[in-house]
Amino acid sequence: MKKLFLLPLAAIIGLLFFQGTQKSELSSNPELEVAGKKIPKKVMAVVDQKCYGCHNPDARSEKAKSKLDWDALQTLSKSEQSEAKDKIYEVLSEGNMPPRKFLENKPEGKLSEDELALLMKWSKTKRK
């Protein structure tokens, strides 16, 4: 009897686990525009690998997603989008993202030189 009772429980836990591991991605939204321009696919791919895990609407860190939520970028005004881009450029040029603490445990999360250059080129605004 007891084992039968555990079955639905196991199913629920399994389902939760499945949902938790199902990774949504920025590149699943190829129409996403920031400051009037689509985010290039190459940029999206890097963001998905190196940034999106912490900066998406379901991210665990409230701080990270409140500061930057890639999916929500398109809901911002154009000037807010430019500001967001500037912030991204800033943290990248200072070498602050992904966070150093995080990289200590997960060095593979670091941006390669090419990836960093790509993201910086994208986030750099003409004003600078």
Closest CA to 50 of 95, 115, 96: 115
Task: State both tokens at 70.
Answer: 């890639």
- Chosen residue from 67, 78, 100, 121 binding ligand HEC by CB under 6 A: 67
Figure out which of the listed residues 73, 98, 118, 122 binds ligand HEC, where binding follows CB under 6 A. Answer: 98
Cβ 124 vs Cβ 89: under 8 Å: yes
Least separation, in Å, of the C-beta of 41 and ligand HEC? 16
- In the complex with ligand HEC, the residue whose CB is nearer, 8 or 20, is 20
Reduced to 3 states, what is the DSSP secondary structure of residue 68?
Answer: coil
Is residue 50 a contact residue for ligand HEC (CB under 6 A)?
yes
Q: How many CA atoms lie within 13 A of 81 on its CB side?
A: 18
Residues that bind ligand HEC (CB under 6 A): 50-51, 53-55, 61, 63-64, 67-68, 87-88, 91-92, 97-99, 102, 109, 111
